[in-house]
Structure 1
Amino acid sequence: MQTAAALSFDRITTALQQGRAQEAERMTREYLALAPQDADALLLLGLCLQEQGRSAEAIEPYRQLTQMLPHSAIHWNNLGTVLRGAGQVRDAEDAYRHALRLDPHDYTTAINLGFLFLERGIYPAARDAFLHAHEIDPVSPEARIYAAQMCYALDSRDRAEQLLQPWRSWTDLGDELALELAILMTHFGNAAEGTRIFERLLQENPGNLRAITHLAAMLERVNRLDEARAMLTRLPSPDSIDDPALQQEVIGAHATLAMRESDPAHARAIIEQMVAAQERSARAHTANLWRENNLYFSLAKICDRQGDAEATMRALGKAHERQVEMVRQSLPELLQPDAQPLHTATKWVSAEAFAAWPAYAAPSMLESPIFIVGFPRSGTTMLEQMLDAHPGLQAMDERAFLQVVVERMSAFGYAYPFDLGRLSAAQCEELRDLYWSLTAKVAPRAQGQRLVDKNPLNLLRLPLIKRLFPEAPIILALRHPCDVILSNYMQHFNSNMFAVLCSTLESLAKGYVTAMSFWLQHAQLMQPRMIESRYEDLL
């Protein structure tokens, strides 16, 4: 026979399941009046309050539970969730971290901690939390999708793509996860798959505003402007949208299309509206630095289109301030006075070391990749596109594959670049095989095609190129340094290293000198098979 307590809990649970949260709360409070220390009843009260959106009131019963059962990770996780819902984000973080100390393998807490950081715009910490959740449950699409989202935002595209490899097997994703997957698909250049997911979501729910917004943005990117305009007509006025994140996405879609339609004044008005909303959030201590950063870079681009140099530089200054603050949160060591953003450029190979490199058999010029290098914003992309138009060449989007090769060299126990001369012929061949296997996955070549590897800062990997592919042709892209520096200052780079490098015009000028000094020294020493291509001559 059931006890009175069991019967009460059954009725409360049934009421909750049937959506009668207020009735469930009333019964729970009646029970607690008789048994105020009953843990099950306190848990039910917290659930009743959460179900009604009353997170602040749910804090007390959950806090009582952590005091009564301090070693229960579940109660600490629940406390973190209601603190997060009440806007007490630092206390929520403390509660989640305490739960993970009690149970490091609690998937729910790890994913919740990731969402907390994501909502606060602290992407490096969000990435780490989502990757921890992925380690706990490697099969979970949720952990993989959100970890990939953060890796992509933090300039780790290869890691993001690796996380999404099983995506075709995810056949039962909820709408929100399917939407995030579709957005990532479009970022990775898979517009067709992204479109299919967006369209399926809209077939199932024509009022899915996020799907409409992102499909409109995707259609704009692939120049299907009429369809993009039609999508935007399905959206309500931004002022009528209560969700701040959705409101920003809708406004951003309108601004992007306005820019495409040569209406910078309208686009500027839209972006300034978004900036004002973010500044109000900042005053309310709910600022999202990543969102503000994006907005100010967008505003700078529009002001530049209008020829308003003063407003452009003002917006860029605010954008870089926020980028530096984000670096301070994630990698503060990059802001130390002696930090060198282009660390690789400080590692020079001496003439004596180079002369001691043993000669090994290596690929011929025709068997080697064609490398396009140069300081960023020097015209490397234009060169890549020109060469990719040739049927005998296959260009590859920027990938840090030479860095992967350097990491493999480190696994041999050798320091780059100082120990390049210690590599054996077999080790050089292994490193070349690794490079070719990586490139084949993203740029498969037809019979007889040659690979074009465009990555500007492979400028600083000349010693590695010379060791593995001594006959490789290298195209050095050059542009007037003042144009290069200003163009970089105007770019929104996700990389922490580049955020610091581009934070001021002075730091960019120093970085340019550091990189080009490295190149000039090593090019004179190593005499690569190299030609120069000047941006101004190609225009």
Structure 2
Amino acid sequence: MTKDDQQTLHQIKQAIGQSQFDQALSLVAKASGQQPGEEMQGELLYMQAVIHRLTRQPQAALDDLTKLIELRPDYGRAYQEMGYCYQALGHNNDAASAFYKATRFNTALVPAWKQLLNTYQAQGNADALALARQHLSFLEGLPAPVLGAYDLMYEGQLHKAEAVCRQFLQQHRHDPEAMMLLAEIGMRLKVYHDAEFLLESCVELYPDNERAAVAYQSLLAKLGKFPQAAAFARKRRDNQPDNTSVQMALANALVGVGELQEAIDIYRSLLASSADRPAAWLSLGHAYKAKGELDNAIDAYKKSAQYMPDFGDAYWSLANTKTYTFSAEDIATMSDIQKRSSTSLDDRVHLCFALGKAYEDKKRYRDAFKHYERGNHLKRQTLQFSIERTEAAMQAQKQACTAELFKNKEAGCPSPDPIFIVGLPRAGSTLLEQILASHSQVDGTMELHDILGIASRLSGHKTPYPYNLSELSDENCRKLGELYIQQTRDYRQGAPFFIDKMPNNFIHVGLIKRILPNAKIIDARRDPMACCFSGFKQLFGEGQEFSYTLSDIGRYYRAYESLMDHWHNVLPGEILTVQHEDVLDDLEGQVQRILDFCNLDFEHQCLKFYETQRVIKTPSSEQVRQPLYRSGMTQWKNFEIHLMPLIDALNGREKPLKE
């Protein structure tokens, strides 16, 4: 948002505060006519709705708010305004629903919580009343600046929230609530290293603070630090052996490190004591799927949906097996739930993607695309993603990482152990990993977060990353490389080499080669249309924020190709590009080529990769447990009529960032 936009909003708020509603509406109309950006457009709709409500035009306000929620479906204050409008119209049930949604998207909205208290009292809902009172008491006990920072964070004003929080901590050092809030803001800003330091410090300072422990546990899982997460969960379980959430945290961490049977035993124990635990059934399904026990996974996902019929993730998890086929009755059930106003945004997103897969299997491609598009749109509206910023980040890598940077081959940790498989998601990287992991000298692991964590750590320096790569001494590079080797040791099973299959590491090839000069890097490449459309119809558990519009994913693919060309130019012979279609056409030839690049002897078992038993947690887990198939090569052609934004972006007809 520009300074002019901010000034205009200040003038509108000032006019509303002085009850000069005609002037305020005039300012809104003038700003709306100047083709405002999406963020400004949302703010103007919100202001207009407030004016209409205050001038006793609740229906006009609701019309504004409906448009706003289509633009920003997770805008808590919009739902709070809706609640007031429905109250004015005498629609008390709708008002209660709106206030409830407001508190789901912005838990710091004290007025909405107070309205819910009145509703629960009138309904005689003792359990909901007790929970609402508890949360309201917590909010009202927060220092005013911290509460204000929470509100700013939930409304997407992250940098303002950070500034307020830091200012408060300067005066109240080590305040636990402010530390936890600043860590959460850091996570949303992707400054993970700072967030981890804050929560680790908070847990050490306040070992009995359960909220801090939960936040730290969650962050370790989010960062893929599953060994640390498991150790921390075991410590918590020793102190709270009967705490269900701690048991779940431990089991989830165990899945992360591949200790599947122990995790399954914990899930089963929890479900034996109480079967009505949809989240536990879902997690049990994920563990079975990672283990390769697909029938058990499907049964667990169905149980999850049985105990919570509107649990969108349960239906999406069934679809995400890539092999499950929904019945006509399943489709009708999901469609009905997806249309209900009471269905949460997150559940609706999951259901849209599941319905897309269901209709695609039925060859109803128009219906399938409609749901894929709707799911992507809803998901995209909850993200603060900018393709321009992402293109700029990749351009910065090209500017910072010249051939000169890699001339000193003595810098870094000399370990040859890692084999990095990089590229875009859905490009065939899991297949390459399974082929290599079938070799006796190679351990398969998972999508490790460690390079991303080191990049985040370097981002906090005075010279910004990646430009500070040239400032790292040989000793710095060696220590960072050794840190990576040490952090990843828990994921290995003892083979001389191991695979790190984090796709996004293609952005950090310069960092990898600075700290691990002898690491092998394989670029998994797939036909652009097949790769991009496969990404568009995939609901990712975390990250991959570029994948939720066709134009964004097309521009991202082009930026990726350009950056990979750069890496080949400055690191000649250091990266092997493997085209997915070539693997399908000539498996043995491509396997030999890959093994030669990795200095590994040929082993016939690599051709029978589908027989290798190992933990696989990516969406392609079931596909790589069977011989090669070609059905994915041309699936996008069934949707070609809908894919012009992608085709235009791939062909450069949408203006890219200037180099």
TM-score bracket for the superposition, by shorter chain length: 0.5 to 0.7
CA deviation vs aligned residue, 1:449-469 (integer Å, no higher than 9, x gap):
112222222222222233333
Q: Are 1:166 and 2:232 matched, yes or no?
A: yes
Aligned to 2:637: none
Q: 1:212 to 1:388 in 2, by over 3 A?
A: closer
Q: Give the percent of matched residue pairs that are identical in Structure 1 and Structure 2.
A: 20
Indicate which of 370, 375, 379 corresponds to 1:319: 375
Partner of 2:310: 248
State which drifts further: 204-213 or 287-296: 204-213
Work out whether residues 384 and 452 of structure 1, in 8 Å CA contact, stay in contact via their aligned partners in 2. yes
Residues 398 and 563, structure 2, Cα contact 8 Å, conserved in 1: no
Contact 2:426 2:535 in 1 (8 A): yes
1:72-94 CA-partner distances (Å, limit 9, x unpaired): x779359xxxxxxxxxx99xx99
- In 1, Cα distance between equivalents of 2:124 and 2:381: 37
SS at match of 2:390: coil
Would the alpha carbon gap of residues 373 and 365 (structure 1) be closer, same or farther in structure 2, given more than 3 Å must change?
Answer: farther
Alpha-carbon spacing, 1:253–1:455, altered in 2? closer, same or farther (3 Å): closer
Report the TM-score, using the length of structure 2 for normalisation.
0.54
> Which stretches in structure 1 are left out of the alignment for 5+ residues?
1-45, 67-72, 79-88, 118-122, 282-286
State the shift of 1:318 in Å: 1.3
Q: Secondary structure at the match of 1:452?
A: strand
The superposition leaves residues 497-520 of structure 1 with CA deviations (integer Å, 9 ceiling, x where unpaired) of x32x12221111111111111111
2:356 paired residue number: 300
Question: Is 1:201 aligned to 2:260, yes or no?
Answer: no
The question of whether the paired residues in 2 share the 8 Å contact of 1:144 and 1:163 is answered with: no
Deviation for aligned residue 1:366: 7.9
Displacement of 1:292: 1.8
Note if contact 1:259-1:267 (Cα within 8 Å) is conserved in structure 2. Answer: no
Structure 2: distance between partners of 1:292 and 1:393: 41
Q: 1:535 aligns with which of 564, 576, 580?
A: 580
Q: Following TM superposition, by how much is the alpha carbon of 1:480 offset from its aligned partner in structure 2, in angstroms?
A: 0.7
User: Are 1:213 and 1:253, in contact at CA under 8 Å, matched by a contact in 2?
Assistant: no
C-alpha displacement at 1:165, in angstroms?
A: 2.6
Measure, in 2, the Cα distance between the counterparts of 1:58 and 1:364. 56
Shift of 1:392: 0.5
**Alignment equivalent of 2:252, drawn from 164, 184, 196:** 184
Q: 1:347 to 1:209 in 2, by over 3 A?
A: closer
Q: Is the Cα–Cα contact under 8 Å of residues 369 and 453 in structure 1 kept in the other structure?
A: yes
Aligned ranges for residues 386-401 of structure 1 at < 5 Å? Answer: 386-401=435-450
> Quick check: 1:406–1:416 contact (8 Å CA) kept in 2?
yes
**Counterpart pick for 2:366 among 306, 310, 318:** 310
1:417 Cα offset (Å): 3.0
- Secondary structure of 1:280's match? coil
Larger radius of gyration: 1
Given that 2:521 and 2:576 are in contact with CA atoms closer than 8 Å, whether structure 1 keeps it comes out as yes
Match of 2:223 among 138, 150, 156: 156
Deviation at 1:485, TM superposition (A): 0.9
User: What does residue 39 of structure 1 align with?
Assistant: none
Q: Which residue identity does 1:184 align to in structure 2?
A: N
Summarize the alignment of residues 48-63 of structure 1 with structure 2, pairs less than 5 Å apart. Answer: 53-54=125-126
Mapped partners of 1:213, 1:403: distance in 2: 28
Tell me the equivalent position of 1:284: none
**How far apart are residue 428 of structure 1 and its match?**
1.9
Contact 1:248 1:274 in 2 (8 A): yes
Match of 2:341 in 1: 280
For 2:177 and 2:433, the matched residues in 1 are separated by 45
Q: Secondary structure at the match of 2:540?
A: coil
Instruction: Tell me which residue corresponds to 1:12.
Output: none
Query: TM-score w.r.t. structure 1 length?
Result: 0.64
Deviating more after overlay: 359-368 vs 421-430: 359-368
Which residue of the other structure, out of 514, 523, 534, is the alignment partner of 1:467? 514
CA shift, 1:191, in A, is: 2.9
The CA distance in 1 between the partners of 2:316 and 2:474, in whole Å, is: 57
* Equivalent-residue separation in structure 2 for 1:204 and 1:156 (angstroms): 31
Q: Are the aligned partners of 1:213 and 1:249 in contact in 2 as well (CA < 8 Å)?
A: no
CA contact (8 A) 2:338 2:352 kept: yes
* In structure 2, distance between residues paired with 1:166 and 1:250: 30
Q: Which one-letter code corresponds to 2:509 in the other structure?
A: L
Note if contact 2:248-2:267 (Cα within 8 Å) is conserved in structure 1: no
Matches within 5 A, 1:194-233: 194-205=263-274, 211=280, 215=284, 218-219=287-288, 222=291, 224=293
Aligned residue runs from structure 1 range 341-420, under 5 A: 341-349=390-398, 354-355=403-404, 359-361=408-410, 367-409=416-458, 413-420=462-469
Task: State the secondary structure of the residue aligned to 1:460.
Answer: helix
Using the alignment, how far apart are the partners of 2:481 and 2:470 within structure 1? 15
Go from structure 1 to structure 2 and tell me whether the alpha carbon gap of 1:218 and 1:455 turns closer, same or farther (over 3 Å shift).
closer
Deviations 1:17-47 (A, max 9, x none): xxxxxxxxxxxxxxxxxxxxxxxxxxxxx9x
8 Å CA contact retained: 2:423, 2:503:
yes
Q: Per-residue deviation at 1:382? A: 0.8
- Give me the whole-angstrom Cα distance separating, in 1, the residues matched to 2:374 and 2:332: 18
Q: Which residue of 1 aligns with 2:552?
A: 507
What's the RMSD between the two structures over aligned residues? Answer: 5.0
CA distance in 2, matches of 1:418, 1:62: 48
Q: How does 1:106-185 map to 2 (within 5 A)?
A: 137-140=206-209, 143-145=212-214, 148-149=217-218, 152=221, 155-158=222-225, 162-169=228-235, 170-171=237-238, 172-174=240-242, 176-178=244-246, 180-181=248-249, 184-185=252-253
Equivalent residue number for residue 477 of structure 2: 428
Q: 1:340 aligns with which of 361, 380, 389?
A: 389
Q: Is the 8 A contact 1:399 1:455 kept in 2?
A: yes
The DSSP-based 3-state class of the residue aligned with 2:538 is: coil
Q: CA deviation at 1:255?
A: 8.0
Kept in 1: contact 2:412–2:479 (CA 8 A): no
CA distance in 2, matches of 1:270, 1:451: 44
1:417 and 1:107 map into 2 onto residues whose CA distance is 33
Residues 1:487 and 2:549 aligned together: no
1:349–1:492 Cα change, 3 Å: same
SS at match of 2:381: helix
Runs of at least 5 residues in structure 2 that lack an aligned partner in the other structure: 1-117, 143-149, 156-160, 162-167, 585-659
Partner of residue 115, structure 2: none
Aligned in 2, Cα 1:342/1:306: closer, same or farther, shift over 3 Å?
A: farther
SS of 1:359 mapped into structure 2: coil
Q: How does 1:3-82 map to 2 (within 5 A)?
A: 53-54=125-126, 76-77=140-141
C-alpha contact (below 8 Å) 1:489/1:508 kept by paired residues: yes
Distance 1:294 1:173, change over 3 A: farther
Q: Does 1:269 align with 2:332?
A: yes
With over 3 angstroms needed to count, the CA separation of the structure-2 counterparts of 1:166 and 1:305, relative to structure 1, is same
Q: Provide the C-alpha distance between the structure 1 equivalents of 2:128 and 2:326, rounded to a whole number of angstroms.
A: 45
Q: Distance in 2 between matches of 1:254 and 1:413?
A: 43
Q: Deviations over 1:367-423 (max 9, x none)?
A: 352222222221111101110111111233112322333345456655433343333
> Which of 442, 450, 454 is the matching residue for 2:497?
450
Q: For 1:312, give the aligned amino acid.
A: A
Q: Distance in 2 between matches of 1:254 and 1:352?
A: 40
Query: Quick check: 1:473–1:528 contact (8 Å CA) kept in 2?
Result: no
**For each residue in 1:40-84, what CA deviation from the matched residue of structure 2 results, as whole angstroms up to 9, or x when unmatched?**
xxxxxx9x9799744898999999xx9xxxxxx779359xxxxxx
CA contact (8 A) 2:400 2:466 kept: no
> 1:28 — aligned with what?
none
Where 2:548 maps in the other structure, the secondary structure is: coil
Secondary structure of the 2:444 match is strand
